[in-house]
Structure 1
Amino acid sequence: MSVTSPSRVAALPTAGRDPFFDNAKFLAITLVVSGHLIEDLRDVAVAHAAYFFVYLFHMPLFIVLSGYLSRNFTFSSGKARKLISTLAVPYVIFELVYSLPRLILYGKLDISLLDPYYLTWFLMSLFLWRLSTPVWQQLRWPLVVAVGISLLSGMSRLPDELSMNRTLGLLPFYVLGLMLRPEHFELLRRPKVRIAGALTLVAGAALALAVHASVKTEWIRWRHANDAIGVDDLTGSLFRLGMLVAGALLVAAFLAVTPSRGTWYSGLGAATMYAYLLHGLVVKVAERFYGDWARTVPGVVAVALLGVGLAALLCTPPVRALTRWAVEPRMNWAFTRLRRPAR
């Protein structure tokens, strides 16, 4: 019987999983981590352009995939318990964890479970989106309704509680994921579509380099209403609609160039929530040690590459074993025993 090394185990795709989605999730989390690491270096033009380009589609990509993988969500006991243990409880834990750097560095302790801080907004929004899944599956034109809600949300200054601006603004990407079927992803794997996807990403990066300085960063963060960004509702709605279309197009292009076969990082892609929730702690520390070396083009490239390595490291089995209590807590002790359906 052959023995597989721990590093090899990390690369093996989990049985029963499609490596395409794990590959996409891992590549996406590298963009998230690298994007956060270079966020404080945006006074360098290349860093600002890369940040702008990545933020156009990296979270929409995660949200589309989350929607697709949530198509079978129901309010059954098992699904509800998983929702609590994988989203609600980690949200509370990391709201507390991310309050510690503020306490240590700034002497400020500010905890509000209804107002997500830093990275935790995604857990809050995904929790609410997933709860709404059965509603969208009953509508005849769910994507049209979701886009309408997204545009209307930009016309009002919504409260920060429940991350309402992002939850409603990015809602169309989740609903789009719910509407997708396996044949749509098969279409993206065709050779001509892959070539078109690669060209689209290159064109998008070139366009981002050309316009990033003239477009307000808040448009790609989905955090504020139109008037808070300084535009009227008509202009803001057109801009939001353009961001939705651009995001969906870049998500499709990114998925088109994603490998569909098993790769060295397929197994890591099954644990991207670890990298997402943990990397913020590293980012907050790293930002305090950036020197002049980092504020150069080679420095930005080096920091971005470090982000790729950090993302991979945080998805490895040793890190997962040490932090599973926070990211994937075992909550069986908190639930009543599941009842078997009567025959």
Structure 2
Amino acid sequence: MKREDFFDNARVLLIFLVVFGHVIQPSTADSKPLMTLYQTIYLFHMPAMIFVSGFFAKGKWDLVYFKNLMKKIIMPYVLFQLLYNVMNYFEGQSAKTMMEPNWSLWFLLSLFSWHLLLAVFKRLPKTLGLLLAFGIGLGVGYIDAIGHVYSLSRTFVFFPFFLLGYHVNKQWLFHLLDRTHTKLAGILIISIVGLHLFLDYPVKLLFGSASYEAMGVPVLGIVSRGFIYLGAIILGFLFFTVVPKQAVTYSKMGQKTLYVYLLHGLFIQTMRRLELFQIEGLVTLLGAIVISGSLVLLLSSPVVTAFFKPLIELKTVKQREWRQLLGSYYHQSNERT
């Protein structure tokens, strides 16, 4: 198994689910099947993505590493927070402070915090650290003041998956994945989707963004979150089981999923505000799949990533690189004709 290919494949499939979930979200209120699909996706896709981030975390803590985190995470966050605020301004909405992440930008703030927390938790015995992380994730729901500000709630709720990814034994993980039957995993995934048809719980519980009181489960919220943790681990593992373990046509796109994550929101928010798309049946659901896949393809393409590279990676693209890039597209178009 090529681990790089496996995780690149996982990243691409997960970012597709992120985009697809955002595309179908406005239509879920009026459709139980769509809400079922939405809840199933949200049960595991962010925990799985966070697990992958933790898997590749270096766990270092020095000035160079801190500066690198600031450059790769905080600077793009600041730039896109400003960009969203400009969009909000033209929509007549109030601007948010840097401590109130717009929409999906919470992930960047939390990712930065997870790296900081890792510097502390990596010093603890593995089992103790994981138990403490899950315990904090369960307990913070009783703090009424916790919420969207600095993405604090999500930081603590989802940190256990980051820590789990960091601590997981690589050989054990890949050995277990290889021993699990792919078809059986697929059947179990479909069964979990079907189970959600009969479950009724606040979808906000899956977001991890507010206190139990704010979500309407002031007493039993800790039990609900415990089951969500369990479901996320089981469904996440089943997902990794069906991920292709070798290079496929979309593997290279896995290196550019941050571009898709940051840029797709601009398209989705515009679609929502202009009410350009509504799912009303199987045909439009297939349309949502096509739209989501097309956005992933577009936003991870060499031209788009080169154009936004100064904004996301704070790196300039030289004229020579542009000429080579555009030249390759020109030759490819000539070959097709």
TM-score of the superposition, structure 1-length normalised? 0.86
Q: Which of 88, 92, 104 is the equivalent residue of 1:102?
A: 88
Q: 2:77 aligns with which of 67, 82, 91?
A: 91
Deviation at 1:134, TM superposition (A): 2.1
Show CA shifts across 1:190-234 (max 9, x none).
2534344222211111112332xx21111111111111122233x
Which aligned pairs between 1:153-168 and structure 2 lie closer than 5 A? 153-157=140-144, 158-168=146-156
Please tell me the residue identity of whatever aligns with 1:18: E
How much has 1:94 moved relative to structure 2? 0.7
Match of 2:299 in 1: 314
Shift of 1:237: 0.7
Partner of 2:120: 135
Measured in 2, the distance between the counterparts of 1:321 and 1:194 equals 37
For the residue of structure 2 that corresponds to 1:58, the secondary structure is helix
Which letter maps to 1:129?
W
Pairing 1:177-192 to 2, within 5 Å after superposition: 177-192=165-180
CA distance in 2, matches of 1:116, 1:293: 26
Could you list the runs of 5+ residues in structure 1 that have no partner in the other structure? 1-15, 332-343
What corresponds to 1:216 in structure 2?
202
CA contact (8 A) 2:23 2:292 kept: yes
Partner of 2:4: 18
Show CA shifts across 1:110-134 (max 9, x none).
1310111101100000000011212
Give the TM-score, by structure 2 length: 0.87
Q: Could you tell me whether the CA contact under 8 Å between 1:44 and 1:297 is conserved in 2?
A: no
> Does 2:100 match 1:146?
no
Question: What is the CA deviation profile of residues 67-125 of structure 1, one whole-angstrom value per residue up to 9, with x for unaligned ones?
Answer: 1110x2312344222211110100101101111221122x2241310111101100000
**Aligned partners of 1:22 and 1:266 also within 8 Å:** yes
1:207 corresponds to 2:195: yes
User: Do the aligned partners of residues 271 and 307 (structure 1) sit closer, same or farther apart at CA in structure 2, a change above 3 Å counting?
Assistant: same
4+ runs deviating over 6 angstroms? none
**C-alpha contact 2:72 2:313 (8 A) present in aligned 1:** yes
Contact kept, 8 Å, 2:5 with 2:246, in 1: the verdict is yes
For residues 16 and 296 of structure 2, the distance between their equivalents in structure 1, rounded to whole angstroms, comes to: 6
Residue 37 to residue 293, structure 1, CA distance change in 2 (3 Å): closer
Residue in structure 2 matched with residue 340 of structure 1 by the alignment:
none
Question: Which residue identity lines up with residue 248 of structure 2 in the other structure?
Answer: T
In the alignment, structure 1 residue 303 sits paired with structure 2 residue 280: no
1:294 alignment partner, SS class:
coil
- 2:264 maps to 1:279: yes
- Once the 2 structures are TM-superposed, how far is the Cα of residue 301 of structure 1 from its aligned partner? 2.7
Give the match for residue 264 of structure 1: 249
Structure 1 CA distance for aligned equivalents of residues 119 and 273 of structure 2: 44
Q: Tell me the residue number matched to 1:341.
A: none
Name the CA distance, whole Å, in 1 between partners of 2:283 and 2:242.
26
Change (3 A) 1:309 1:191: farther
Q: Which has the higher contact order (CA 8 A, sep 6+)?
A: 1
Q: Distance in 2 between matches of 1:168 and 1:116?
A: 16
Q: CA deviation at 1:17?
A: 7.1
Q: Is the 8 A contact 1:85 1:330 kept in 2?
A: no
User: Relative to structure 1, is the Cα distance of residues 322 and 37 closer, same or farther in structure 2, using a 3 angstrom cutoff?
Assistant: same
Distance in 2 (alpha carbons) for counterparts of 1:89 and 1:96: 11
Contact 2:27 2:278 in 1 (8 A): no
Q: Is the 8 A contact 2:137 2:159 kept in 1?
A: yes
Partner residue in 1 for 2:47: 60
User: Structure 2 counterpart of 1:311, which letter?
Assistant: V
Residues of 2 paired with 1:18 and 1:245: CA distance?
Answer: 27
Change (3 A) 1:326 1:194: same
Deviation at 1:159, TM superposition (A): 4.5
Q: Contact 1:100–1:109 (CA<8 Å) still a contact in 2?
A: no
Structure 2 residue runs without a partner (length 5+): 317-337
2:164 to 176, 179, 182: 176
